[in-house]
Structure 1
Amino acid sequence: MAEFHFVEDYEKHVARLMRDHPIDEAMSLAVGGAYDIIGRIEAEALIRNGLRDGMRLADVGCGSGRTAVALARRLRIDYDGYDIVQALLDYAKSKTPEEYRFHMNRAVKLPAPDATFDYVCAFSLFTHLLHEETFIYMRDCHRVLKEGGKLLFSFLEFRMAALWPIFEATVKQYEASTRPTLNMFLERQAIEVFAAKIGFSVEEFIDADAPVLDEHMLGQSMCVMVR
């Protein structure tokens, strides 16, 4: 058995996708599909919320490099991506500038010294973790951020009607024993409690259906926290 549920889940999920689809399609599906446009939306969200040239960014749960590819087109940053599946990391590395660094990391903590990063992002990461794992990861993001640094992450929440179909689909997959990975909803009140306990201040919540790039929305809610 894997040390954490998400390692075993995602290794099997990615292996199935690579078996059943061409590599580019498999790598897009592994991070939820719509590789180009979602990457551009994520990059725009980061830039709107303070990511700038010269900053050092930790992309936690970087997957196959969707966010990294989009960022490389727009900014010159010091980039570190972390994920749990080597095939995803290898693909991300092949699509991004050679100075971008990618790391295998299967803990819910980051292998980096205190106050290393100006910014941390986590797209579709906490959506697949238990709440206690999310809290531990958030706490470690606080540790590796510089004073005044930001954490931007996406999450699923019941208050957004547009996200209810995700829960319905998860229920059906669970009943049919076909659920590929865990989908976890996290409410804003819980996020605010986590932030207060850790020492973050919540700067902004962004609704899942709020346009981010022209008329395009991410499809998950987002939260911006400041250390």
Structure 2
Amino acid sequence: MAQFHFVEDYERHVRRLMRKHPIDEAMSLAVGGSYAEIGGVECEILLHAGLQPGQSVVDFGCGSGRLAAALGQRLAVEYLGIDVVQALLDYARSKSPPHYRFRVSRTLALPVETASVDMVCAFSVFTHLLQTETYLYLEEMLRCLKPGGTVVCSFLELAAPNAWHAFHETVQQQRTSQVPNLNMFLERSQIEVFIQKLRSGGYIYESVGFLDPTAAPWPSGHALGQTVAILRKGVAPAPMRHLEL
């Protein structure tokens, strides 16, 4: 399997933060800051998407554990956090319930058994992947989910007013060849095309809903700042389609 294109850059970025800042500040900055606030919003989004006590959740791109820390205080679940940087996983483990599991993965596959989990989430992950990689991971998530399971994923939507600042900043960095990592911008229409095409073991994504980046229907009152897609795996394999000649 191919390796992530940004592993070395992100490891270097995390090491630099750890040299310059106290560990808690460095681990917050490594995931964009507002550690507790955004972790709480992510937790609320999973509850909104239907996560129930006792269910299993895979947190793909878990970073330093802001979701794991918040989730551990709110709901008893089976949890697996996956990331590419071991230092982030070590910190996440220190902030999480002892039964939470964490694993390094640097391939285009998820280290999860087929049809074994209730929910897979990816917050601020597709924002740093090529579109082809996003497609492959959505396919992997479909494989991993139990029938009726849910994917919750966020992305930078260029049509959203608040995304323009991130795009403009990336343009300025590109001018001087100082882009620290890939910033990818998607649209809802692209996500919709992906779910129309995706199939794994005969199963498809049956529905899709979106949450606006500035929406704050959460008890905390905070907003995530990225568009969120909620996808559900079909409860039964889809019938085969005959090709039109």
**TM-score if structure 1 supplies the norm length?**
0.97
Note the 1:1-227 alignment, pairs <5 A.
3-198=3-198, 199-214=204-219, 215-227=221-233
SS of the residue 2:103 aligns to = strand
Of 171-180 and 156-165, the range deviating more from structure 2: 171-180
- Report the Cα distance in structure 2 between the residues aligned to 1:4 and 1:47, rounded to whole angstroms: 30
User: Given that residues 192 and 208 in structure 2 are in contact (C-alpha distance below 8 angstroms), is that contact kept between their aligned partners in structure 1?
Assistant: no
Give the Cα–Cα distance (whole angstroms) in 2 for the partners of residues 35 and 123 of structure 1: 13
| SS, match of residue 217 in structure 1 | coil
Structure 1: segments with no counterpart, 5+ residues: none
In 2, Cα distance between equivalents of 1:91 and 1:158? 32
Partner Cα distance (1:212, 1:33) in 2? 21
SS of residue matched to 1:127: helix
The 10-residue stretch of structure 1 (49-58 or 209-218) with the greater mean CA deviation from structure 2: 209-218
Question: Contact (CA 8 Å) 1:192, 1:202: kept in 2 or not?
Answer: no
The Cα of 1:178 is off from its aligned counterpart by 2.4
Determine helix, strand or coil for the equivalent of 2:46: helix
1:212 touches 1:218 (CA, 8 Å); kept in 2? no
CA contact (8 A) 1:127 1:184 kept: yes
CA-CA distance at 1:202 after TM superposition? 3.3
Could you tell me whether the CA contact under 8 Å between 1:59 and 1:79 is conserved in 2? Answer: yes
Cα distance, 1:66 vs. partner? 0.5
- Say if 1:55 and 1:118, in contact at 8 Å, map to a contact too: yes
Cα gap change, 1:17 to 1:209, in 2 (>3 Å)? same
Structure 1 residue 177, shift from structure 2 partner: 2.5
Q: 1:167 to 1:92 in 2, by over 3 A?
A: same
Say whether the 8 Å CA contact 1:156–1:186 is kept in structure 2: yes
Amino acid at match of 1:219: G
- Identity fraction in percent: 53
Any idea what the Cα deviations from partners look like across 1:49-77, whole Å, max 9, x if unmatched? 10110000000000000000000010000
User: Which structure 2 residue ranges, 5 or more long, are not aligned?
Assistant: 199-203, 234-245
1-structure distance, mates of 2:178, 2:144: 37
Q: Quick one: distance in 2 between partners of 1:99 and 1:62?
A: 16
Mapped contact 1:44–1:212 kept (Cα < 8 A): no
Question: Aligned AA for 2:208?
Answer: E
1:119, 1:151 within 8 Å by CA — same for their partners in 2? Answer: yes
